[in-house]
């Protein structure tokens, strides 16, 4: 990203006005597909993108969808308990049937990993986890879904909707922050600025 001064633009609506650079993202309601999303100022279209004013539209809920690059899943405590207390005709046959219904790439997850999934909370690829749930009559909608390698996803407290606090943090991150990942751990960093 080049440093230095950039031209700024004024975006005006009937009820609000913002001044921002061309690449500054703003939250809009897209009339073409009905979605709430961030659009750079330079890509705004009159009559298509309606700016969301957090003060005026405070009751408008704009959901933040979770992004999964490689979705994995594990059983919830409730589902593990159900598996343990249920009597099955042949657990090994059910595991083998599940492995027969998935593609060859997925079958590299051997029977031991499936037993670990059922008993100790090990995660499996989402499709295989759903197949196992189906075979063992477990509710796949109660799976804990997360990205591969993510630990304790239920403890990650991400916002579900865009609100004024989230927008302020997001703007601060874009303006004075960055994400840093060193292969093992991710960090959210901010510029401290001058301290008096």
Give SS3 for 31. Answer: coil
What pTM was estimated for this model as a whole?
A: 0.52
Per-residue pLDDT at 109: 55
Residue 195 inside a domain? The answer is: no
pLDDT digits (tens, 9 = 90+) for 170-196: 888 888 888 887 877 778 888 876 655
* Residues 130, 166 within the same domain: no
Q: What interhelical angle do 77-85 and 111-120 show, nearest 10?
A: 110
Neighbour count for residue 126 (Cβ, 10 Å):
18
Between CA 86 and CA 96, with CA 91 as vertex, the angle to 5 degrees is 145
- What distance in Å separates the CA atoms of residue 148 and residue 116, rounded to the nearest whole number? 16
Please give the Cα distance from 186 to 181 (Å, whole number).
4
For residue 116, being part of any structural domain is answered with yes
Domain assignment of residue 136, yes or no: yes
pLDDT in tens, 30-69: 888 888 888 899 999 988 988 876 555 555 567 777 777 8
Query: Does 176 share its domain with 102?
Result: no
Same domain, 46 and 95: no
- Residue 106 structural domain: 71-155
């Amino acid at each position: 990203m080049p440093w230095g001064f950039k031209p700024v633009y004024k975006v005006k609506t009937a009820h609000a006005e913002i001044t921002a650079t061309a690449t500054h993202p703003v939250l809009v309601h897209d009339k073409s597909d009905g979605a709430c999303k961030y659009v750079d100022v330079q890509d705004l279209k009159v009559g298509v993108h309606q700016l969301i004013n957090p003060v005026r539209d405070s009751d408008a809920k704009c959901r933040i969808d979770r992004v999964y690059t490689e979705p994995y899943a594990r059983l919830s405590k409730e589902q593990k308990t159900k598996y343990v207390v249920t009597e099955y005709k042949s657990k090994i046959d059910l595991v083998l049937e599940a492995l027969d219904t998935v593609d060859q790439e997925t079958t590299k997850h051997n029977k031991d990993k499936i037993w670990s999934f059922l008993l100790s909370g090990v995660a499996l690829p989402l499709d295989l986890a759903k197949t196992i749930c189906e075979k063992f009559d477990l509710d796949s909608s109660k799976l804990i879904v997360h990205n591969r390698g993510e630990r304790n996803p239920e403890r990650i407290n991400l916002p579900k909707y865009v609100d004024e606090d989230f927008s302020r943090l997001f703007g601060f991150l874009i303006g004075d922050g960055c994400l840093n990942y060193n292969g093992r751990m991710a960090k959210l960093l901010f510029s401290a600025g001058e301290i008096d």
